[in-house]
Amino acid sequence: MCGIIGIASNKPVSINIINSLKKLEYRGYDSAGLATLTNKNINEKKCIGRVEELEKILFKTPREGNIGIGHVRWATHGVPNIVNAHPHSTDQVSVVHNGIIENSDELKKELENKGLKFKSQTDTEVITLLISEALKEHDPLNSVFKTLKKLKGSFALGILFKNFSDIIIGARRGSPLAVGYSKDENYLGSDSYALKSMTNKISYLDDGDVCVISKDEVKFYDVSLKKINKKTHILSEDENIADKGEYKNFMSKEIFEQPITAKNCVNEYIDSLKKDINIYNFPIEPTNINKIVLIGCGTAYHSCLVAKYWLEELTTIDIEIDIASEFRYRKLKFNQKNLYIFLSQSGETADTAAALDICKKNKVKTCSIVNVVESTIARNSDWVLPIHAGPEIGVASTKAFIGQLLVLFILSLKLAKIRGDINKNVYEDNIKNLIKIPEAIEESLKSENNIQLVAKEFLNAKGSMFLGRGSSFPIALEGALKLKELSYLHAEGYPAGEMKHGPLALIEEGLPVIVIAPKDKYFEKTLSNMQEVIARGGKIIFITDNKKMIANDNIRFGLRVPFLNNILSPILLTAPLQLLAYHVALLKNCDIDKPRNLAKSVTVE
Ligand code: AGP
């Protein structure tokens, strides 16, 4: 989860490198750095923290060099300090890296035994020294290939050479890397988002590929050093991708965009006149599907959990779900009649991509539900269902979660209809309700003023609990995750029925407990679990779609969301929890779009 940029041009590159690094900061922001080549010297500049610090350093020095590389870091090996910031350079070569080299300690020892000295604690510096050593006997391309053969683990690399000042070499294994084309200059970047402001012509490296870019030419090689060609994609135009408009941060923009993005998503899949769903070309004929396995991480995993309830409710298909980082190491029994569905906003999450690779190696059918259709996971799936949420910049996922839920519900409904598991009335009734979702989300966002009052209850809290049953349980997990990652407060999401099996011990006077209780078959049971909490002093925040609020002196706050039908309630119960986490984080002066220790796209294990 670091960001890489490289530019080979006929004019100075450092300003464009800085601007591209700013677009890559969502991938990591512990430190930043760049290196340019002038008069055959490698000029390296680095800073701790944000790219704007690097910009300040640059303004104090001449911004020369028509070729350069840049990096924003999310620390994996070595604390975030100047020495560990990328690029890592010798007098011959400068390297930026995203990924984890798993045998770096062993390689470092070999190099130290040869008398070489290390300045940093990073695995990247091993790559720098290996290439430097190889350059004593080989040209740049062969030096890189020789080095890559020694590396175990994942990397996306950008490499600059002191004595070959017209080229940058890029290499990819397990971490995304793209090339961009323009007149008199060409680019290397971690993803298309970093390159979009300079070009819309992009190629993507696949694992094992190496590229050599200069200002006039780009060459590609496969893992056996054979020259290859790569497809050029023309990127779609995403309007207002870069600015927050009138919002003070991306997260608030993305929360309040949800009615629009939900409408875009529904319009993409629903034919409101025919009351039908436009999903066809299933990779497996729906009536032949034996099992569906849903896989994701974090918020994307929570959408898998919600979909499990929906698919079990609407179809007779056997459903399994797993967290990608667990799935990829299990002893799995694959079946050609299983459909493996991968949920990922970025489409670049390393664990999810690795889980997908295992399925591909076992020749089973795969589908990805993503927000970035040019992403690695999308390009490697048999079938892609985009969520149409538009770029999501805030690290805490909001509109993408709603998009994932909508596509998962729409898919569940279509599968159930084709298989004959539901009748026409149920099908059409749910389509009618889906069309009302955007307006209902708009309505649920109106509770913001009340939520700002609720947020104050968390300021001095030791932690909090989020409780729900059935499809509200994954929403409890999602609400807890939002609060954790935005406000750094301890928060647990739990099945309400589980409290008596231990977690009730956490309840003490004044602890805020969010009870998510839609008017469904679990409602009464959830009320009794709430009583167990009240009896021990818990402070209840009650969220429901029930027409009347529960009258109880011990409910500190009651929040109501609109009701469409029981099965769609998870989608409408989510917005208040996003707003709650947002306002607690605001009160605590946390960084809303870039919470500490996190990154938007987790492209390392
Ligand atoms: C969500 O708010 C978190 N930022 C994180 O859990 C995220 O959902 C997870 O890393 C998966 O990301 P993806 O959807 O891009 O694969």
Among residues 422, 438, 454, which one ends one of the domains? 422
Among residues 206, 234, 262, which one ends one of the domains? 234
Domain CATH code at residue 64: 3.60.20.10
Span 254-278, pLDDT tens digits: 999 999 999 989 988 998 878 899 8
H helices of 380-517, in order, are: 399-419, 424-444, 448-456, 473-487
The structure tokens listed for 306 are 């919600």
Domain CATH code at residue 409: 3.40.50.10490
Nearest atom in ligand 1 to the alpha carbon of residue 352 is: 16
Whether residue 218 sits in one domain with residue 300 = no
- In-domain check, residue 599: no
Among 345, 369, 398, 477, say which to mutate for ligand 1: greatest number of ligand atoms within 8 Å of CB.
Answer: 345
Whether residue 559 sits in one domain with residue 470 = yes
Whether residue 226 sits in one domain with residue 264 = no
Q: Tell me the C-alpha distance between 565 and 134, whole Å.
A: 66
Among 251, 346, 393, 604, say which to mutate for ligand 1: greatest number of ligand atoms within 8 Å of CB.
Answer: 346
Whether residue 416 sits in one domain with residue 310 = yes
Q: List active site positions.
A: 2, 600
Question: Among 214-218, 294-298, 557-561, whose mean pLDDT is lowest?
Answer: 557-561
- In-domain check, residue 561: yes
- In-domain check, residue 433: no
Taking the centre of ligand 1 as the mean of its atom positions, its distance from the CA of residue 16, in whole angstroms, is 28
Whether residue 230 sits in one domain with residue 108 = yes
Q: What element of type H or E holds 9?
A: strand 3-9
CB distance 65 to 14 below 8 Å? yes
As a dihedral over the C-alpha atoms of residue 370, residue 374, residue 377, residue 380, rounded to 10 degrees, the angle is 130
Who lines ligand 1 at CB under 6 A?
A: 297-300, 344-346, 349, 352, 395-397, 485, 601-602
* 382 to 54, 335, 579: CA distances (angstroms): 42, 16, 36
The structure tokens listed for 83 are 């020495």
Cα–Cα nearest to 199, from 215, 183, 212 = 183
Whether residue 340 sits in one domain with residue 470 = no
Supply the pLDDT for residue 75.
Answer: 76
Taking the centre of ligand 1 as the mean of its atom positions, its distance from the CA of residue 424, in whole angstroms, is 36
Whether residue 267 sits in one domain with residue 213 = no
Q: How many domains does the chain have?
A: 3
Mean pLDDT calculated for residue range 19-34: 84
Span 395-413, pLDDT tens digits: 999 999 999 999 999 999 9
Taking the centre of ligand 1 as the mean of its atom positions, its distance from the CA of residue 418, in whole angstroms, is 31
- In-domain check, residue 581: yes
Strands (E), 230-280: 233-234, 270-271, 276-277
Among residues 422, 438, 465, which one ends one of the domains? 422
**DSSP SS3 for 344:** strand
Predicted confidence (pLDDT) at residue 25 exceeds the cutoff of 80: no
The structure tokens listed for 369 are 């539900």
Whether residue 171 sits in one domain with residue 57 = yes
Taking the centre of ligand 1 as the mean of its atom positions, its distance from the CA of residue 603, in whole angstroms, is 11
Predicted confidence (pLDDT) at residue 10 exceeds the cutoff of 90: yes
Mean pLDDT calculated for residue range 547-563: 86
Whether residue 453 sits in one domain with residue 418 = no
Among 255, 349, 376, 381, say which to mutate for ligand 1: greatest number of ligand atoms within 8 Å of CB.
Answer: 349
Span 355-406, pLDDT tens digits: 999 999 999 999 999 998 878 999 899 999 999 998 899 999 999 999 999 9
Give the model's confidence band at 243: pLDDT under 50 very low, under 70 low, under 90 confident, else very high: low
Cα–Cα nearest to 304, from 125, 123, 474, 470 = 474
Taking the centre of ligand 1 as the mean of its atom positions, its distance from the CA of residue 178, in whole angstroms, is 21
Give the model's confidence band at 176: pLDDT under 50 very low, under 70 low, under 90 confident, else very high: confident
Q: Name the residue range of residue 322's domain.
A: 250-422
Whether residue 188 sits in one domain with residue 48 = yes
